[in-house]
């Protein structure tokens, strides 16, 4: 099966493919009538197709640091025929140094990585909390008030805090006001579950953006705290504010994603009752000098 690169691709074609993958794997989450998920927009597209049906697909785009990163998927009924290896081989040959995501840390992905000489360079944990025991109440630092996000007013303030809080993060650090506005149009968006922490001058210093998935699972979507406001328990208070909101909505469980090596954040979440439930891995070729 031929592999071809495209600078543009029909979103409907990709959406149908992603929905077929999600029906078996449980992700990616795709809105049947909405835009493609953020990680599949722009960039370049590598396609393995039979007629107008995608059998395999890879999306390559630069992260916040200018490094190439790839999302790569094979249609469930096309797996086990070497297509995944072919896609990864083409992506890594065309984009030296690219980082390739394997969602779910699947053994098949690990075998492909070993076959092509790729190593783990990043691990992101999915953590999960099943609601049971009562949650602690949030304790806010002096002078901090919490309010709901106001569409059309707060986008720039959130992006400014996000940029300072996640200047180290390859994906989250690239968030723009246009990204926020685009997300406001998605079916799951609910400003009542998007909490902003503001100081006495109403300057936003932190936020907790929650999400409820179609299956009813809640998510700690993003918690961001301005570095100048860190160290006083604001992150924990914001997290608890969102958890109380999700529990009141009746969700049975909450997930979140966190870098495995972010020990302070992992510790906060573990103390709240979250446990590791899955992992996403990035693989890349390691230069001979290890740089």
What are the binding residues? 72-74, 171, 211, 219, 223-225, 230-236, 257, 262-267
Residues 6+ apart with CB under 8 A from 202: none
Binding site members for acetyl-CoA: 72-74, 223-225, 230-236, 262-267
Q: What's the full length of the chain, in residues?
A: 291
Cβ-based neighbours of 118, under 8 Å, separated by 6 or more: 88, 92, 100, 112, 283, 284, 285
From 256, 268, 273, 161, select the one nearest 211 (Cα to Cα). 256
Structural contact between residues 13 and 52, judged by C-beta atoms closer than 8 angstroms: yes
């Amino acid at each position: 099966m031929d592999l071809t690169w495209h600078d543009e691709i029909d979103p409907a074609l990709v959406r149908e493919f992603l929905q077929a993958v999600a029906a078996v794997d449980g992700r990616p989450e795709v809105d049947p009538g909405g835009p493609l998920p953020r990680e599949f927009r722009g960039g370049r597209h590598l396609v393995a197709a039979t007629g107008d049906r995608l059998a395999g697909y890879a999306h390559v785009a630069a992260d916040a640091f200018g490094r190439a990163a790839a999302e790569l998927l094979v249609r469930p009924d096309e797996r086990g025929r070497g297509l995944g290896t072919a896609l990864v081989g083409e992506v890594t040959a065309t984009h030296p140094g690219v980082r390739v995501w394997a969602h779910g840390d699947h053994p098949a992905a690990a075998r492909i990585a070993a076959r092509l000489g790729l190593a783990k360079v990043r691990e992101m944990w999915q953590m999960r909390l099943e609601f049971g025991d009562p949650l602690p109440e949030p304790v806010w630092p002096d002078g901090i008030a919490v309010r709901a996000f106001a569409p059309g007013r707060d986008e720039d303030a959130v992006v400014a805090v996000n940029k300072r809080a996640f200047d180290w993060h390859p994906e989250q650090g690239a968030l723009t006001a246009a990204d926020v506005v685009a997300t406001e149009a998605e079916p799951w968006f609910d400003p009542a579950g998007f909490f902003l922490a503001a100081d006495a001058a109403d300057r936003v210093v932190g936020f907790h953006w929650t999400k409820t998935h179609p299956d009813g699972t809640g998510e700690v979507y993003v918690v961001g705290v301005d570095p100048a406001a860190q160290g006083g328990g604001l992150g924990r208070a914001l997290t608890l504010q969102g958890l109380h909101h999700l529990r009141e909505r009746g969700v049975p469980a909450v997930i979140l994603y966190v870098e495995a090596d972010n020990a302070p954040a992992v510790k906060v979440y573990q103390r709240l009752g979250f446990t590791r439930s899955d992992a996403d891995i990035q693989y890349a070729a390691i230069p001979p000098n290890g740089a």
